[in-house]
Protein backbone atom coordinates (compact mmCIF):
# COMPACT_ATOMS: atom_id res chain seq x y z
CA UNK A 1 0.00 0.00 0.00
CA UNK A 2 2.76 2.44 0.89
CA UNK A 3 4.44 1.86 -2.47
CA UNK A 4 1.22 2.71 -4.30
CA UNK A 5 0.82 5.85 -2.20
CA UNK A 6 4.37 6.89 -3.12
CA UNK A 7 3.59 6.40 -6.80
CA UNK A 8 0.36 8.35 -6.45
CA UNK A 9 2.42 11.25 -5.10
CA UNK A 10 4.37 11.27 -8.36
CA UNK A 11 1.08 11.29 -10.26
CA UNK A 12 0.00 14.19 -8.05
CA UNK A 13 3.03 16.21 -9.20
CA UNK A 14 2.06 15.54 -12.80
CA UNK A 15 -1.55 16.60 -12.16
CA UNK A 16 -0.46 19.85 -10.48
CA UNK A 17 1.77 20.66 -13.46
CA UNK A 18 -1.12 19.88 -15.81
CA UNK A 19 -3.51 22.14 -13.87
CA UNK A 20 -0.93 24.93 -13.92
CA UNK A 21 -0.43 24.50 -17.66
CA UNK A 22 -4.21 24.64 -18.16
CA UNK A 23 -4.31 27.98 -16.32
CA UNK A 24 -1.25 29.36 -18.14
CA UNK A 25 -1.40 32.66 -19.99
CA UNK A 26 0.69 31.14 -22.78
CA UNK A 27 0.52 27.33 -23.01
CA UNK A 28 3.03 27.28 -25.87
CA UNK A 29 5.80 28.39 -23.49
CA UNK A 30 5.92 25.53 -21.01
CA UNK A 31 9.35 25.66 -19.27
CA UNK A 32 10.34 21.99 -19.64
CA UNK A 33 13.95 22.46 -18.56
CA UNK A 34 12.92 24.49 -15.52
CA UNK A 35 10.30 21.88 -14.60
CA UNK A 36 12.84 19.07 -14.62
CA UNK A 37 15.41 21.18 -12.80
CA UNK A 38 13.00 22.41 -10.10
CA UNK A 39 11.71 18.91 -9.32
CA UNK A 40 15.24 17.52 -9.21
CA UNK A 41 16.30 20.41 -6.98
CA UNK A 42 13.53 19.60 -4.51
CA UNK A 43 14.40 15.90 -4.51
CA UNK A 44 18.10 16.58 -4.06
CA UNK A 45 17.51 19.07 -1.24
CA UNK A 46 15.28 16.61 0.66
CA UNK A 47 17.76 13.78 0.18
CA UNK A 48 20.67 15.94 1.31
CA UNK A 49 18.87 17.41 4.31
CA UNK A 50 17.47 14.13 5.61
CA UNK A 51 19.71 11.49 4.03
CA UNK A 52 23.18 12.88 4.79
CA UNK A 53 24.28 12.35 8.42
CA UNK A 54 25.98 15.74 8.61
CA UNK A 55 22.79 17.45 7.45
CA UNK A 56 20.78 15.55 10.04
CA UNK A 57 23.12 16.92 12.70
CA UNK A 58 22.54 20.46 11.40
CA UNK A 59 18.78 19.97 11.37
CA UNK A 60 18.91 18.64 14.92
CA UNK A 61 20.92 21.68 15.91
CA UNK A 62 18.33 23.88 14.20
CA UNK A 63 15.64 22.17 16.24
CA UNK A 64 17.58 22.83 19.43
CA UNK A 65 17.99 26.48 18.40
CA UNK A 66 14.24 26.78 17.84
CA UNK A 67 13.58 25.30 21.29
CA UNK A 68 16.07 27.74 22.78
CA UNK A 69 14.43 30.71 21.05
CA UNK A 70 11.00 29.59 22.22
CA UNK A 71 12.19 29.13 25.82
CA UNK A 72 13.99 32.47 25.84
CA UNK A 73 10.91 34.19 24.47
CA UNK A 74 8.79 32.72 27.25
CA UNK A 75 11.15 34.25 29.80
CA UNK A 76 10.41 37.69 28.34
CA UNK A 77 6.69 36.99 28.10
CA UNK A 78 6.53 35.82 31.70
CA UNK A 79 8.45 38.93 32.83
CA UNK A 80 5.75 41.14 31.29
CA UNK A 81 2.59 39.07 31.80
CA UNK A 82 3.51 36.87 34.77
CA UNK A 83 1.45 33.73 35.33
CA UNK A 84 -0.93 34.75 32.51
CA UNK A 85 1.74 33.57 30.07
CA UNK A 86 1.09 29.97 31.17
CA UNK A 87 4.79 29.36 31.72
CA UNK A 88 4.37 27.87 35.19
CA UNK A 89 3.75 29.19 38.67
CA UNK A 90 -0.03 29.56 38.35
CA UNK A 91 -1.56 30.80 41.63
CA UNK A 92 -4.46 28.36 41.25
CA UNK A 93 -4.93 24.61 40.73
CA UNK A 94 -4.54 23.54 37.09
CA UNK A 95 -6.81 20.66 36.10
CA UNK A 96 -5.99 20.79 32.37
CA UNK A 97 -2.35 21.73 31.65
CA UNK A 98 -3.03 21.79 27.88
CA UNK A 99 -5.28 24.83 28.40
CA UNK A 100 -2.21 26.86 29.43
CA UNK A 101 -1.02 26.90 25.80
CA UNK A 102 -2.33 30.27 24.65
CA UNK A 103 -1.56 31.35 21.08
CA UNK A 104 -1.23 34.99 22.08
CA UNK A 105 1.42 34.20 24.70
CA UNK A 106 3.21 31.13 23.31
CA UNK A 107 3.36 31.66 19.54
CA UNK A 108 2.89 35.32 18.59
CA UNK A 109 5.69 36.62 20.88
CA UNK A 110 8.10 34.28 19.08
CA UNK A 111 7.37 36.16 15.84
CA UNK A 112 8.24 39.42 17.60
CA UNK A 113 11.59 38.14 18.87
CA UNK A 114 12.58 36.56 15.56
CA UNK A 115 11.81 39.76 13.65
CA UNK A 116 14.12 41.70 15.95
CA UNK A 117 16.79 39.02 15.71
CA UNK A 118 16.50 38.91 11.90
CA UNK A 119 17.06 42.66 11.67
CA UNK A 120 20.14 42.34 13.89
CA UNK A 121 21.53 39.45 11.79
CA UNK A 122 20.91 41.48 8.66
CA UNK A 123 22.81 44.44 10.12
CA UNK A 124 25.67 42.12 11.05
CA UNK A 125 25.64 40.94 7.40
CA UNK A 126 25.07 37.30 8.36
CA UNK A 127 21.54 37.10 6.97
CA UNK A 128 22.50 39.39 4.11
CA UNK A 129 25.31 37.03 3.10
CA UNK A 130 23.01 34.03 3.36
CA UNK A 131 20.33 35.74 1.27
CA UNK A 132 22.81 36.78 -1.39
CA UNK A 133 24.08 33.20 -1.53
CA UNK A 134 20.62 31.80 -2.18
CA UNK A 135 19.96 34.62 -4.64
CA UNK A 136 23.07 33.66 -6.59
CA UNK A 137 21.89 30.03 -6.70
CA UNK A 138 18.44 31.03 -7.97
CA UNK A 139 20.01 33.32 -10.55
CA UNK A 140 22.31 30.64 -11.95
CA UNK A 141 20.03 27.59 -11.69
CA UNK A 142 16.52 29.01 -12.24
CA UNK A 143 17.37 31.66 -14.83
CA UNK A 144 16.27 34.62 -12.69
CA UNK A 145 17.71 38.09 -13.08
CA UNK A 146 19.72 39.59 -10.23
CA UNK A 147 17.05 41.65 -8.48
CA UNK A 148 14.22 39.04 -8.58
CA UNK A 149 16.70 36.34 -7.55
CA UNK A 150 17.71 38.24 -4.43
CA UNK A 151 14.09 39.16 -3.60
CA UNK A 152 13.12 35.50 -3.95
CA UNK A 153 15.87 34.48 -1.54
CA UNK A 154 14.96 37.28 0.89
CA UNK A 155 11.32 36.19 0.79
CA UNK A 156 12.26 32.74 2.13
CA UNK A 157 13.77 34.30 5.24
CA UNK A 158 11.86 37.59 5.64
CA UNK A 159 8.34 37.08 4.26
CA UNK A 160 6.06 37.74 1.30
CA UNK A 161 6.13 41.55 1.44
CA UNK A 162 9.35 42.02 3.43
CA UNK A 163 11.43 40.22 0.76
CA UNK A 164 10.57 42.60 -2.13
CA UNK A 165 11.36 45.58 0.11
CA UNK A 166 15.05 44.82 -0.43
CA UNK A 167 14.70 45.53 -4.18
CA UNK A 168 12.15 48.32 -3.87
CA UNK A 169 14.09 50.54 -6.26
CA UNK A 170 13.95 47.83 -8.95
CA UNK A 171 10.29 46.76 -8.66
CA UNK A 172 8.91 49.18 -11.24
CA UNK A 173 11.36 47.88 -13.86
CA UNK A 174 10.44 44.21 -13.42
CA UNK A 175 8.41 42.43 -16.06
CA UNK A 176 4.86 41.19 -15.47
CA UNK A 177 6.21 37.64 -15.21
CA UNK A 178 8.75 38.68 -12.56
CA UNK A 179 6.16 40.52 -10.44
CA UNK A 180 3.94 37.44 -10.60
CA UNK A 181 6.91 35.28 -9.64
CA UNK A 182 7.54 37.34 -6.50
CA UNK A 183 3.86 37.16 -5.56
CA UNK A 184 3.79 33.39 -6.05
CA UNK A 185 7.01 32.63 -4.20
CA UNK A 186 5.81 34.84 -1.35
CA UNK A 187 2.69 32.70 -1.02
CA UNK A 188 4.47 29.37 -1.46
CA UNK A 189 6.94 30.02 1.40
CA UNK A 190 6.77 31.46 4.90
CA UNK A 191 8.99 33.84 6.84
CA UNK A 192 11.72 32.91 9.29
CA UNK A 193 9.72 34.37 12.18
CA UNK A 194 6.68 32.17 11.50
CA UNK A 195 8.83 29.07 10.94
CA UNK A 196 9.74 29.11 14.62
CA UNK A 197 6.10 29.70 15.55
CA UNK A 198 4.93 26.71 13.50
CA UNK A 199 7.64 24.50 14.96
CA UNK A 200 6.48 25.54 18.43
CA UNK A 201 2.92 24.53 17.59
CA UNK A 202 3.93 21.11 16.18
CA UNK A 203 6.61 20.31 18.73
CA UNK A 204 4.49 17.86 20.73
CA UNK A 205 3.03 15.94 17.77
CA UNK A 206 5.81 15.84 15.14
CA UNK A 207 9.38 14.72 15.89
CA UNK A 208 11.97 17.06 14.36
CA UNK A 209 9.21 19.60 13.76
CA UNK A 210 11.66 22.47 13.31
CA UNK A 211 13.66 20.52 10.72
CA UNK A 212 10.54 19.76 8.68
CA UNK A 213 9.19 23.31 8.80
CA UNK A 214 12.56 24.82 7.88
CA UNK A 215 12.95 22.36 5.01
CA UNK A 216 9.39 22.96 3.82
CA UNK A 217 9.83 26.71 3.41
CA UNK A 218 13.17 26.22 1.66
CA UNK A 219 12.21 23.56 -0.88
CA UNK A 220 8.87 25.15 -1.77
CA UNK A 221 10.72 28.07 -3.36
CA UNK A 222 11.74 26.10 -6.50
CA UNK A 223 8.16 24.85 -6.81
CA UNK A 224 6.85 28.41 -6.53
CA UNK A 225 9.29 29.62 -9.18
CA UNK A 226 8.32 26.78 -11.53
CA UNK A 227 4.55 27.22 -11.21
CA UNK A 228 4.89 31.01 -11.53
CA UNK A 229 6.77 30.53 -14.81
CA UNK A 230 4.06 28.15 -16.01
CA UNK A 231 1.14 30.44 -15.05
CA UNK A 232 2.78 33.59 -16.46
CA UNK A 233 5.68 32.54 -18.75
CA UNK A 234 8.68 34.80 -19.10
CA UNK A 235 9.47 36.69 -22.28
CA UNK A 236 13.24 36.35 -22.90
CA UNK A 237 13.20 39.52 -24.98
CA UNK A 238 12.03 41.55 -22.00
CA UNK A 239 14.27 39.94 -19.36
CA UNK A 240 17.80 40.85 -20.32
CA UNK A 241 20.44 39.62 -17.84
CA UNK A 242 21.16 42.09 -15.04
CA UNK A 243 22.83 42.08 -11.64
CA UNK A 244 21.67 43.45 -8.32
CA UNK A 245 23.55 46.03 -6.31
CA UNK A 246 23.35 44.80 -2.72
CA UNK A 247 24.62 48.12 -1.47
CA UNK A 248 21.21 49.63 -2.27
CA UNK A 249 19.36 47.17 -0.05
CA UNK A 250 17.95 47.79 3.43
CA UNK A 251 20.39 49.12 6.04
CA UNK A 252 20.38 50.01 9.74
CA UNK A 253 22.47 52.65 11.49
CA UNK A 254 23.56 50.43 14.38
CA UNK A 255 22.79 47.20 16.19
CA UNK A 256 20.42 49.01 18.56
CA UNK A 257 18.70 50.64 15.59
CA UNK A 258 18.28 47.20 14.00
CA UNK A 259 16.77 45.74 17.18
CA UNK A 260 14.37 48.66 17.65
CA UNK A 261 13.20 48.74 14.03
CA UNK A 262 13.03 44.95 13.91
CA UNK A 263 10.88 44.93 17.03
CA UNK A 264 8.62 47.62 15.57
CA UNK A 265 8.22 45.68 12.32
CA UNK A 266 7.59 42.51 14.32
CA UNK A 267 4.90 44.23 16.37
CA UNK A 268 3.06 45.19 13.19
CA UNK A 269 3.21 41.59 11.98
CA UNK A 270 2.03 40.19 15.33
CA UNK A 271 -0.90 42.62 15.46
CA UNK A 272 -1.77 41.83 11.85
CA UNK A 273 -1.69 38.08 12.47
CA UNK A 274 -3.74 38.36 15.66
CA UNK A 275 -6.34 40.66 14.09
CA UNK A 276 -6.62 38.47 11.00
CA UNK A 277 -7.14 35.34 13.09
CA UNK A 278 -9.81 37.00 15.22
CA UNK A 279 -11.76 38.27 12.21
CA UNK A 280 -11.51 35.18 10.03
CA UNK A 281 -12.23 32.70 12.84
CA UNK A 282 -15.22 34.83 13.86
CA UNK A 283 -16.54 34.86 10.29
CA UNK A 284 -16.16 31.09 9.99
CA UNK A 285 -18.00 30.69 13.31
CA UNK A 286 -20.86 32.78 11.89
CA UNK A 287 -21.01 30.60 8.78
CA UNK A 288 -20.89 27.48 10.96
CA UNK A 289 -23.85 28.82 12.93
CA UNK A 290 -25.86 29.36 9.76
CA UNK A 291 -24.94 25.93 8.39
CA UNK A 292 -26.05 24.39 11.67
CA UNK A 293 -29.60 25.42 10.77
CA UNK A 294 -29.51 23.13 7.74
CA UNK A 295 -30.53 19.45 7.90
CA UNK A 296 -27.83 16.98 8.93
CA UNK A 297 -25.98 15.15 6.18
CA UNK A 298 -24.70 11.63 6.77
CA UNK A 299 -25.79 11.73 10.39
CA UNK A 300 -23.71 14.82 11.25
CA UNK A 301 -24.27 18.56 11.07
CA UNK A 302 -22.64 20.54 8.32
CA UNK A 303 -19.71 22.82 9.11
CA UNK A 304 -17.15 24.80 7.14
CA UNK A 305 -14.42 22.38 8.22
CA UNK A 306 -16.43 19.36 7.07
CA UNK A 307 -17.33 20.92 3.72
CA UNK A 308 -13.71 21.92 3.08
CA UNK A 309 -12.65 18.37 3.92
CA UNK A 310 -14.98 16.99 1.26
CA UNK A 311 -13.89 19.54 -1.34
CA UNK A 312 -10.15 19.08 -0.87
CA UNK A 313 -10.11 15.35 -0.04
CA UNK A 314 -9.48 14.36 -3.70
CA UNK A 315 -6.49 16.72 -3.85
CA UNK A 316 -5.09 15.28 -0.62
CA UNK A 317 -5.57 11.77 -2.02
CA UNK A 318 -3.90 12.47 -5.36
CA UNK A 319 -0.75 13.86 -3.69
CA UNK A 320 -0.37 10.60 -1.75
CA UNK A 321 -2.58 10.69 1.35
CA UNK A 322 -4.52 7.44 2.01
CA UNK A 323 -8.23 7.80 1.22
CA UNK A 324 -9.19 7.00 4.81
CA UNK A 325 -7.23 10.08 5.94
CA UNK A 326 -8.08 12.27 2.94
CA UNK A 327 -11.09 14.07 4.51
CA UNK A 328 -9.02 15.15 7.53
CA UNK A 329 -6.10 16.18 5.31
CA UNK A 330 -8.45 17.95 2.90
CA UNK A 331 -9.96 19.88 5.78
CA UNK A 332 -6.48 21.10 6.76
CA UNK A 333 -5.83 22.27 3.19
CA UNK A 334 -9.15 24.09 3.14
CA UNK A 335 -8.58 25.76 6.51
CA UNK A 336 -5.14 26.89 5.33
CA UNK A 337 -6.64 28.43 2.18
CA UNK A 338 -9.74 30.02 3.72
CA UNK A 339 -8.35 30.98 7.13
CA UNK A 340 -4.56 31.01 7.60
CA UNK A 341 -1.77 28.48 7.81
CA UNK A 342 -1.54 29.13 11.57
CA UNK A 343 -5.13 27.94 12.01
CA UNK A 344 -4.34 24.87 9.92
CA UNK A 345 -1.20 24.09 11.93
CA UNK A 346 -3.18 24.39 15.15
CA UNK A 347 -5.75 21.94 13.76
CA UNK A 348 -2.93 19.61 12.70
CA UNK A 349 -1.48 19.70 16.22
CA UNK A 350 -4.85 18.65 17.63
CA UNK A 351 -5.28 15.64 15.31
CA UNK A 352 -4.58 12.45 17.22
CA UNK A 353 -2.56 9.51 15.96
CA UNK A 354 -5.79 7.66 15.12
CA UNK A 355 -6.90 10.39 12.70
CA UNK A 356 -3.82 10.50 10.45
CA UNK A 357 -0.63 8.48 10.13
CA UNK A 358 2.89 9.78 10.79
CA UNK A 359 3.55 9.90 7.04
CA UNK A 360 0.44 11.99 6.39
CA UNK A 361 1.35 14.31 9.28
CA UNK A 362 4.74 14.96 7.69
CA UNK A 363 3.19 15.52 4.25
CA UNK A 364 0.63 17.96 5.61
CA UNK A 365 3.34 19.92 7.39
CA UNK A 366 4.86 20.61 3.96
CA UNK A 367 1.48 21.25 2.31
CA UNK A 368 0.50 23.83 4.94
CA UNK A 369 3.84 25.65 5.09
CA UNK A 370 3.03 28.60 2.85
CA UNK A 371 1.23 31.95 2.94
CA UNK A 372 -1.25 31.07 0.16
CA UNK A 373 -4.57 32.10 1.71
CA UNK A 374 -7.26 34.72 1.26
CA UNK A 375 -5.81 36.98 3.94
CA UNK A 376 -2.48 37.08 2.07
CA UNK A 377 -4.26 38.45 -0.99
CA UNK A 378 -5.08 41.58 0.97
CA UNK A 379 -1.64 41.72 2.54
CA UNK A 380 0.06 41.59 -0.87
CA UNK A 381 -2.23 44.18 -2.46
CA UNK A 382 -1.63 46.54 0.47
CA UNK A 383 2.12 45.89 0.51
CA UNK A 384 2.73 46.28 -3.22
CA UNK A 385 0.47 49.35 -3.34
CA UNK A 386 3.02 51.00 -1.06
CA UNK A 387 6.16 49.50 -2.62
CA UNK A 388 5.23 50.07 -6.27
CA UNK A 389 1.98 52.12 -6.50
CA UNK A 390 2.37 52.52 -10.27
CA UNK A 391 1.61 48.82 -10.75
CA UNK A 392 -1.15 48.37 -8.19
CA UNK A 393 -3.73 47.52 -10.85
CA UNK A 394 -1.42 44.92 -12.38
CA UNK A 395 -0.83 43.33 -8.98
CA UNK A 396 -4.56 43.20 -8.25
CA UNK A 397 -5.13 41.47 -11.56
CA UNK A 398 -2.60 38.73 -10.73
CA UNK A 399 -2.79 38.24 -6.97
CA UNK A 400 -5.64 35.69 -6.93
CA UNK A 401 -3.89 33.63 -9.58
CA UNK A 402 -0.69 33.89 -7.53
CA UNK A 403 -2.57 32.55 -4.50
CA UNK A 404 -3.66 29.52 -6.55
CA UNK A 405 -0.11 28.97 -7.80
CA UNK A 406 1.34 29.28 -4.28
CA UNK A 407 -1.25 26.86 -2.90
CA UNK A 408 -0.47 24.30 -5.62
CA UNK A 409 3.27 24.79 -5.05
CA UNK A 410 3.08 23.65 -1.42
CA UNK A 411 0.87 20.71 -2.45
CA UNK A 412 3.50 19.80 -5.05
CA UNK A 413 6.19 19.91 -2.37
CA UNK A 414 4.08 17.63 -0.15
CA UNK A 415 3.61 15.21 -3.06
CA UNK A 416 7.36 15.03 -3.67
CA UNK A 417 8.03 14.49 0.04
CA UNK A 418 5.38 11.78 0.12
CA UNK A 419 6.83 10.07 -2.94
CA UNK A 420 10.08 9.38 -1.05
CA UNK A 421 10.40 6.51 1.46
CA UNK A 422 9.03 7.34 4.92
CA UNK A 423 12.18 5.81 6.44
CA UNK A 424 14.14 8.78 5.08
CA UNK A 425 12.52 11.00 7.71
CA UNK A 426 13.30 8.65 10.57
CA UNK A 427 10.00 6.79 10.31
pLDDT in tens, 67-96: 787 788 888 888 888 877 766 667 777 666
User: What are residue 297's DSSP bridge partners?
Assistant: 300
User: What are residue 300's DSSP bridge partners?
Assistant: 297
pLDDT value of residue 247:
43
Maximum separation of any 2 CA atoms in the chain, in Å: 70
Confidence of residue 316 (pLDDT cuts 50, 70, 90): very high
Which has the closest alpha carbon to 103: 118, 80, 86, 81?
Answer: 86
Burial class (CB in 10 A: 0-12, 13-18, 19+), 226: buried
pLDDT, tens digit (0-9, with 9 covering 90-100), for 273-302 = 788 778 877 888 888 888 888 887 766 777
Q: What mean pLDDT do residues 367-392 have?
A: 85
Distances (CA, A) of 123 to 84, 109, 249, 313, 399: 34, 22, 11, 45, 31
pLDDT value of residue 401:
94
Is 357's pLDDT higher than 80? Answer: yes
Q: What mean pLDDT do residues 303-317 have?
A: 86
- Chain-wide mean pLDDT for the chain? 82
Say how far apart CA 281 and CA 304 lie, in whole Å: 11
pLDDT, tens digit (0-9, with 9 covering 90-100), for 206-243 = 888 888 888 888 889 999 999 999 999 987 766 665 55
Amino acid sequence: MTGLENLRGIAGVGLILAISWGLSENRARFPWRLAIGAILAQLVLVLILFGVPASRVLLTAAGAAVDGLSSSTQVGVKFVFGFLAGAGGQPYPVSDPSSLFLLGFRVLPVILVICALSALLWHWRILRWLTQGFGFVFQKTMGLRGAPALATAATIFMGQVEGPIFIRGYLNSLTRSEIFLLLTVGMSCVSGSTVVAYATILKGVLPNAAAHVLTASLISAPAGILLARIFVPRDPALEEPSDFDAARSKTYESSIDALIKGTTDGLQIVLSVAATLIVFVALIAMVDGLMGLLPSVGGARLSVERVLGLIFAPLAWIIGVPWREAPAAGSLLGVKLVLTEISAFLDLSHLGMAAISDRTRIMMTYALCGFANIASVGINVAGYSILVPERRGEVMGMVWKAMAAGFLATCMTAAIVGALPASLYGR
